[in-house]
Structure 1
Amino acid sequence: MTTPDQLPGLNQAFADEQLMTRMGIEITRWDGDEMVGTMPVKGNRQPYGLLHGGANAVLAETLGSIAAATHAAPDRVAVGLELSCTHHRSAREGLVTGVCKPVHRGRSTATYEIVVSDEDGKRLCTARLTCFLKEV
């Protein structure tokens, strides 16, 4: 199994410019069928003090893209085709957790559902990401 740090096509020259680093996203678990990551609310708020909906989208796309890329490796790379997010509620503080599970893992596309929850386990966002798996 390919791990996220072994993905083909990653340009290490941009390692310090990764959006996931700026957002404070950390991958906390990866077992091949489920990827889990966290993100702080602090630093990712909109003007009303709530977690920005775009931050949920970044967390979801990060988890889904890494999961798709590990599925596609070593002869293909994953590029996003479509991201859909439904925001159910928001958070004001703490860490949010994204849990990414496959819906479909094929040869040319992969689709994942990502559920973002707050520290009390309340669902904040349900996202669905489809990636195209492009030959290298």
Structure 2
Amino acid sequence: MTSEVIASAPGGSDAAGMDLDLDALVATMPFATTLGLTISEASAEAVVGRMPWSEGLCTTGAIVHGGALMAMADSLGAVCAFLNLPPGAGTSTIESKTNFFRALREGDVTGTATPLHVGRTTIVVQTDLRDHRGKRVALVTQTQAVIGAT
């Protein structure tokens, strides 16, 4: 889980009307960069990213470690929450639950994070992780605190 607060962008973090530099956004999360995470789409409605299979992310049997999948989902969920923040607010994960459905033995994993609830004090995000064949690998639901809203 992200332990640091993701700060808001100047003038607020609403994706509407913002010209997001997705590479720069990922670069603000060094661990996501270590995972090889890239983000291809980002809006308040959905954040889509991809993480390549890598031997360095695997556990026994060349299976991607569950912690790597959880970290990917947490990173995408944090960006989704960030894009739903009120002006001047930040966010941090306060709860996360993961259901694993199958092992990832090869190929990229794609994640789509969508907000389930956007409230004054919390944002709940669900991230669906799928393998290169489109089969669900994991489903992650997390709660993000809204910090410092004005």
Distance in 2 (alpha carbons) for counterparts of 1:132 and 1:116: 22
Change (3 A) 1:16 1:114: closer
Q: Distance in 2 between matches of 1:30 and 1:77?
A: 17
Matched, 1:41 2:53: yes
Q: TM-score, normalised by structure 1?
A: 0.86
Give, in whole Å, the separation in 2 of the partners of 1:5 and 1:58: 21
Counterpart of 1:28 in structure 2 is 40
Q: How large is the RMSD of aligned CA atoms in angstroms? A: 1.9
Whether 1:116 aligns to 2:124 is no
SS at match of 1:71: coil
Task: After TM superposition, list the pairs within 5 Å mapping 1:1-136 onto structure 2.
Answer: 1-2=14-15, 18-42=30-54, 43-135=56-148
Q: Distance in 2 between matches of 1:16 and 1:71?
A: 17
- Measured after TM superposition, the shift of residue 47 of structure 1 is 2.3
Instruction: Tell me what 1:12 maps to.
Output: none
Report the residue type matching 2:42 in the other structure. W
Q: Which structure 1 segments of 5+ residues have no match?
A: 7-14
Relative to the length of structure 2, the TM-score reads 0.78
Percent identity, aligned pairs only, is 29
Looking at structure 2, the residues matched to 80 and 91 of structure 1 have their Cα atoms a distance apart, in angstroms, of 25
Aligned length: 128
SS in 2 for 1:82: strand
